[in-house]
A and B are shown apart, each in its own frame.
Chain A
């Protein structure tokens, strides 16, 4: 692999400092046994030759002409380490094969007038599928501005007006055929005044990188084991900590017997760490616990096994999932708060011929990133260095500063590849733990979670009941629609939250529950689409209508509808109809299927993207389910990387299927019942179908893609199950419902 991991920000001084920080990304890249993969010392890093010429915050031209592009995003598997540099390279007009990509650290610029901070590289978090739409606005411009500088430099050398010069393949072209390479121009370009704010961008017809299939930039490092993730990070003298956390939410440590633990070879320190105060805002770590700090993971883990801890149970010690569902059902029986009301449902009900009503159940879910949460932190010398798998490095920076008093510019955060995000990393509770442990240890500390820690200490996808009601008139037309939700709000004890506004478009019935909740891939769309898209099929059945025809009829003529949540402000009905028609066409909707088979559809608008799924399934007499075909149609605007976009849709489809079939978190006697993958069984190879992905050609600016493929999977699946078997599934996960008595339609 390349050993050049510096980055090219604004100034020479900045460049040197970032080279040093980014050099840490190398620390896990040595393959020979016995070679310590420690980070280079600052002196050694500073002595490293710096030959390249930085141009702007993202581009460095090496003396050999290689173009180095900085990747600012958190690479959680959504492909931003590839796709964001593609946007820069396109407008810079360099061939992708000449590009080397380097991960940038978290970048903060301290401002003095006005006081505060700005982002050196722009948005760096990974949440809400916003990386591509953000970068579409600023990173294409970043590339174009560097290209502009290089053209100006050539214009000076040739004494030729810049508007007579063109670029191609990292070269500036003179009308007479002469060329100057970007490498030859870089130093002069760096001396020029900055480019104007709005340099013209390429027309779509000129794209040579955007829209072209591009492989994962780190693929070779990944398949050789050289790619570094947060959990692989190392610092000289770092210790490893494993924490025994209170299994009762808001509980505490009553008594510790650590005599055995301290005798475990390699264990250095054992001490308790505080949890959040009961009822207080959850902005740091999630649970009180006992930290075991040791020379390596195994010693720390053995030390934890040897602890004898008595816990104080919290106020939720008697709580359970069953009680939660009873509370939610009771809440549904009340009027609740009406979040939005258009028209008069009661009038429609009285005038109508028929009322259709159903209740759908969504379970709590865990994120279960394959890389368990971890954080390596060094708090010595009034500074902080954090290396961790993050989705919100800005949040980590603010949290560390709040906990330690270290000014944010003195907090350095290195970003490595992240072994899965799914929203888990939007919380930095594991970083808070690392801070708490490091404050008691005179060395850098890496906190590592086990799988059991992870499944039992998550910010879970909320639980909820959806009650949907539709009224039909004598002609079986839909005249009224109501959607009421009784749920644990997605935010819980968060700073400045407004729980009541957290579920939209429905009567809002927040239900008390004592487990932390958070965002999980396509949070509200996934939560809602199952109910809405399942119910559409139930309404179609009652109306004697075809489910696809009813959907298209309700979408109506092409128009824009207001959409006030993320992805708005408008929803284009024809784009939703477009993905529906495409999925239906590809699956062969309306054609004959064998006995016991059925086809189901669903579509949804998610964070600005439009996706439909179509499943053909077979259900045997014994209740065995087989996914025969699985089609996904996506319109997420202009496609940046078709290979990456297909991967996101394929992966989200399998994630959605895994979740719909088997996954839930349950609580009993105040404790999470699941502890490891056998009772949180993600789909394996044998059950994972091929996914037939179709990307619609679109010329509108792109939305993101990471979350859009998730919401429609479960409803398309259960609609297909109904078509195949006549059994309507209203509770997720599917589990054994096709085999049991609860499967009555």
Chain B
């Protein structure tokens, strides 16, 4: 049985173990390695992608649950050469250190901004992605910068 879905706006099809997590489909089959493996139990968030626009931990998302849905990975977040405001804010605030968690951080933050365009401190504190390097203060600054920019764009 084929599992059909869209991946970064392209139609995709998968035939294989329906229990395989989306993370490993992305990394080993679609060769989209921006989505990272960190814990395998949905705790660290390095594997965060969007499923129908909402953040999901791809290491806990079996391929069977992807059928008929739209998957967006970090590679699909920009509009061509036009970076998502969060991606630009991440560069402007010089957020990354090792950088390994940052794709997941950005995908989680994008989901937050979609739900809370002007996130409060408490909203930021709901982000649970781990950063081993401790870039959290700059992540907060980057999200606020992107939120301000998006608000300006809406006016």
Contact = CB atoms under 8 A, between A and B. Distances in A.
A705 B62 CA distance: 42
Contacts of B77: 224
A629 interface: no
B106 interface: yes
A297 B97 contact: no
A225 B101 contact: no
Which of B97, B101, B106: most chain A Cβ within 10 A? B97
A314 interface: no
* Size bracket of the A interface: 35 or more
Given A296-B29, A372-B37, A685-B129, A655 B134 contact: yes
Interface in B1-59: 7-8, 10, 12, 16-17, 20-21, 24, 27-41, 43-44, 46
A676 B91 contact: no
A225 B139 contact: no
A79 to B, nearest CB: 7
Main DSSP-derived SS at the B contact region:
loop
Contacts of B31: 28, 30, 33-37, 234
A302 B20 CA distance: 9
Given A223-B106, A647-B135, A685-B124, A34 B96 contact: no
A370 B100 contact: yes
Contacts of B97: 77-79, 216, 647-648, 651
A691 B136 CA distance: 10
A683 B136 CA distance: 10
Contacts, number: 209
Contacts of A437: none
Interface in A670-705: 676-678, 682-686, 688-691
Given A225-B32, A451-B39, A76 B98 contact: yes
A649 to B, nearest CB: 10
A345 interface: no
A370 B37 CA distance: 8
B60 to A, nearest CB: 13
Contact of B130 (A79, A222, A296, A682): A682
Main DSSP-derived SS at the A contact region:
loop
Nearest to A644: B94
Contact of B132 (A265, A368, A647): A368
A460 to B, nearest CB: 16
A591 B45 CA distance: 41
Which of B21, B32, B95: most chain A Cβ within 10 A? B32
B12 A33 contact: yes
Contact of B137 (A37, A222, A234, A650): A650
A685 B136 contact: yes
Contacts of A644: 94
Interface in A136-161: none
Which of B21, B34, B135: most chain A Cβ within 10 A? B34
Interface of B: 7-8, 10, 12, 16-17, 20-21, 24, 27-41, 43-44, 46, 73-75, 77-78, 83, 86-87, 90-91, 94-103, 106, 124-140
Interface of A: 28, 30-37, 75-79, 213, 215-216, 218-220, 222-229, 231-232, 234, 240, 265, 296-298, 302, 368-372, 417-422, 448, 450-451, 643-644, 647-648, 650-655, 658, 676-678, 682-686, 688-691
19 contacts: A220-B83, A220-B91, A224-B77, A297-B27, A298-B24, A370-B98, A371-B38, A417-B99, A451-B39, A647-B97, A650-B137, A676-B43, A677-B44, A678-B43, A684-B130, A685-B129, A686-B126, A688-B134, A688-B137
Q: Shortest 4 CB-CB distances between A and B: which pairs?
A: A225-B34, A654-B134, A77-B98, A419-B100
Given A228-B33, A372-B38, 11 more contacts: A33-B7, A33-B10, A34-B31, A225-B33, A225-B35, A419-B36, A647-B138, A651-B134, A677-B130, A678-B43, A691-B137
